[in-house]
Amino acid sequence: MKIRLFYTNLPFWRAEVSRLALYIGGIDFEDVRMIWRDDFDIMVNTGKLPYNIKSPFRQIPVLEVDGQVIGQTAGIARFCGKLSGMYPKNDDILAAKIDQIIDAANDITNLIGLTMREKDPDKKISERKNLSEKILPKWLGFLEDLLDENKLSEWFVGKNMSIADLCIWRLLGWVTSGKLDHVPTTILESFPNLTKLYNLIDNHPKVCEWMLLKYKK
């Protein structure tokens, strides 16, 4: 099986969840890092990706498997998760519980994205304050409760790490990175379960290996 995964050279959750799932699972793939903004602008305007691949929705990430092209974050993550054993093949309930976490990550990302579009500096500060004091704590609380409800392990679903955990790990890395103005890097302090999950994955041997290999971290 020949696999290519297309995204920019960023550890953002939309692609990183699938990259890491494949890497942790020992699945061989080509990690195609597009040049920002050159390759990205071409893709948005024409749909064309490197290797003459076409993005179905003029978005990334995009996965190519033996010449078949797949778009959209969640679909790609589920496929890669199944290959790596990090997404259930025969348990629809567990699969749906993982899906809800990925969908929640998408909702949180979209809510953050709304504050990025504001051009007025004063309005942006106000929106970010609302984001950091109300919106993010509410959504982080939802995730905290889901972790607490799983009595089988410290992961979101079942007894083992899944693509849901990888997804939230990278999302939290972004939220606490300091790159989002007026969102405190300490925002996780009130969420012990999420903090524990973040640290577990951040110190996972294969994750550390990947971060050193790709980002020299």
What is the CATH classification number for the domain harbouring 185? 1.20.1050.10
Residues 96 and 156 in one domain: yes
Q: Note whether residue 131 is domain-resident.
A: yes
Residues 199 and 97 in one domain: yes
User: 217 pLDDT exceeds 80?
Assistant: no
Residues 51 and 112 in one domain: no
How close are the terminal C-alpha atoms of the chain, in Å? 30
* Residue-wise pLDDT tens digits, 39-82: 889 999 999 999 999 999 999 999 999 999 999 999 999 999 99
Which among 60, 85, 110 is the end of a domain?
85
Report the half-sphere exposure of 64 (CA within 13 A, side-chain side).
Answer: 16
pLDDT, mean over the chain: 96
Which among 85, 116, 149 is the end of a domain?
85
Q: Note whether residue 214 is domain-resident.
A: no
Residues 154 and 51 in one domain: no
Cα angle: 10, vertex 39, 21; to 5 degrees: 35
Mean pLDDT value of segment 93-121: 96
Better-predicted residue by pLDDT, 30 or 38: 30
The amino acid present at 181, given as its one-letter code, is D
Residues 64 and 99 in one domain: no
Q: Provide the number of structural domains found in the chain.
A: 2
Which among 85, 112, 129 is the end of a domain?
85
| Structural domain boundaries, residue 73 | 3-85
Q: What is the pLDDT of residue 36?
A: 80
User: 193 pLDDT exceeds 90?
Assistant: yes
Strand boundaries in the chain, DSSP class E: 3-8, 30-34, 48-49, 53-54, 62-65, 68-71
Instruction: Assign 35 a pLDDT band (cuts: 50, 70, 90).
Output: confident
Residue 71 φ/ψ, nearest 5 degrees: -110, 170
Q: Note whether residue 97 is domain-resident.
A: yes
**CATH number, position 15:** 3.40.30.10
Q: Note whether residue 215 is domain-resident.
A: no
pTM: 0.95
Residue 5 φ/ψ, nearest 5 degrees: -120, 125
| Among 157, 144, 133, 159, CA closest to 191 | 144
* Residue-wise pLDDT tens digits, 123-181: 999 999 999 999 999 999 999 999 999 999 999 999 999 999 999 999 999 999 999 99
